[in-house]
């Protein structure tokens, strides 16, 4: 029954089984790619942003090297790492929604998300977009040097009265790593969300009851 819920069903058992296996392989591939990108991001932040002067430009050098091979490669790799942060934000919306310590606000669930919940989480993603732009401009300052994005989000924002010290002392970066560690710890202790532990019949019954 667990395998039956892992992929699309169908009248042909052979087709259903093949699609189920392909679904799990694709999920494994996506998990592997996500793990590589996550580790690369964390290593880059530690080597390039936590200390001054930076220990290594790391991903900046990687993008510049790809540009030397073919300009589109460096831009594509840069976009991949930037859009991955947006994808992580969307995953956070489906995982916990807006987490407020003791409860969550409007989490999205497969097959059980209302339109107002979708709009609320869309607003969260839009709010996170500005943060991602600023973070990428700071993290990839060497690669994005002398660009409009770097001038606005990587240079001018560091001189804003009142909040410049938060950026200069990497307060937001430390907060991000704190939440990463806290999330890993909570997921290891709690495991999957309660609604994911339900069987397929229990999910359908809950959906019809609601």
**pTM across the whole model:** 0.76
Low-confidence residues in the chain, pLDDT < 50: 1-6, 195
Q: Name which of 162, 111, 107, 171 is nearest 138 in CA terms.
A: 171
CA distance 165 to 197: 44
pLDDT tens-digit map of 36-93:
999 999 999 999 988 888 899 999 999 999 999 998 999 999 999 999 999 988 887 7
For residue 160, report the phi and psi dihedrals to the nearest 5 degrees: -75, 130
């Amino acid at each position: 029954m667990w395998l039956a819920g892992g992929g699309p069903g169908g009248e042909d058992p052979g087709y259903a089984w093949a699609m189920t296996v392909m679904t799990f392989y694709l999920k494994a591939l996506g998990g592997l790619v996500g793990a590589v990108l996550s580790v690369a991001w964390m290593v880059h932040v530690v080597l390039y942003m936590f200390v001054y002067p930076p220990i290594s430009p790391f991903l900046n050098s990687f993008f510049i090297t790809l540009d030397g091979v073919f300009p589109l490669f460096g831009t594509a790799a840069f976009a991949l790492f930037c859009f991955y942060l947006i994808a992580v934000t969307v995953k956070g919306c489906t995982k916990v929604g807006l987490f407020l310590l003791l409860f969550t606000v409007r989490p999205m669930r497969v097959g059980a998300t209302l339109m107002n919940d979708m709009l609320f989480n869309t607003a969260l993603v839009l709010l996170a977009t500005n943060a991602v732009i600023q973070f990428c401009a700071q993290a990839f300052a060497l690669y994005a040097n002398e660009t409009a994005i770097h001038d606005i989000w990587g240079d001018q924002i560091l001189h804003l009265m009142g909040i410049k010290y938060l950026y200069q002392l990497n307060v937001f970066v430390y907060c991000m790593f704190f939440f990463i560690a806290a999330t890993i710890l909570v997921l290891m202790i709690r495991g999957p969300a309660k609604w994911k532990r339900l069987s397929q019949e229990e999910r359908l019954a809950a959906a019809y009851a609601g």
